[in-house]
Amino acid sequence: MKLSNEIKEVLSNFQTINSNIALGEDGMIRSMSTSKTLMARSDVVPEAPYEWPYQFGIYDLGEFLSCLNMFTDPTLTFDENQKFVTITDGITTFKYHFSDISSLTVPTNDINLPCEDLQFTLSHDELSQLRKASATLKANQLCVRMSSTGNQFIECVVLDKQNPTSNEYTLNVANCSINTSAEFDFVFDINNFKFKPSDEYVFGIDKKQVASVKAGNTQYWVALDKTTTYKE
């Protein structure tokens, strides 16, 4: 079996979410943070004839990727007894043992919510600016609310909600669809924004305190912070 560069990129992104991962089931790649506040699913699947032969677990995805990166074009051969995989270029070989999936923190289902109360899109540069503002202000909360400049906008505000004198950074967003008449203050922990690089990030927020984020061929679900408010 060969792994495409696209799959390696997905795995590299997912190891920032959690070092545990289970591969093989339905071909898709999924991850979930240990706090269970961030889930991800990639629609990139191995193409024939290189499908995963069975489901297997990896405890330290970063280590597994480091083994792969020791080679330019490795071949993976899976043990018939489902215990390990050999990674080789024909000259040198890694024998990498699988982990018991029941002992790993991995998702079992996707989240099935419409996430349509508020929808908006951030460009790569806009999300980068929000991250930089968070680092500059040492504030990890991002509040998404109606803009004070008019109903056709929302604003993304980086601040520390626990500090009444917190400095703030505000980004007005016009590329949005507001599908609720409620007053809302949706709050994210920016530390959960472990998205793969993409030209744009499409957000959808549900009042049940979860958001979906689409970045290219990868879907993320992010739990909202407990300080979120939604008043109908």
> How confident is the model at residue 137, as a pLDDT?
97
**pLDDT reported for residue 151:** 66
The per-residue pLDDT for range 74-107, each reduced to its tens digit, is: 999 999 999 999 999 999 999 999 999 999 999 9
Up-side HSE of residue 15: CA atoms within 13 Å toward CB?
15
What pTM, to 2 d.p., does this model score? 0.93
Of the chain, the percentage scoring pLDDT greater than 90 comes to: 84
Q: What is the pLDDT of residue 205?
A: 97
pLDDT of 71 > 90? The answer is yes
- Model confidence at 53, pLDDT cuts 50, 70, 90, reads very high
Considering only the C-alpha atoms of the chain, give the largest distance between any 2 of them, rounded to a whole number of Å. Answer: 65
What domains are there in the chain, each with its CATH number? 5-103 (3.70.10.10), 118-231 (3.70.10.10)
Strand positions, DSSP E, the chain: 21-23, 29-32, 38-42, 56-58, 75-78, 84-88, 93-97, 118-123, 141-146, 154-159, 169-173, 176-178, 183-189, 200-206, 210-215, 218-223, 229-231
pLDDT in tens, 127-163: 999 999 999 999 999 999 998 776 678 999 999 999 9
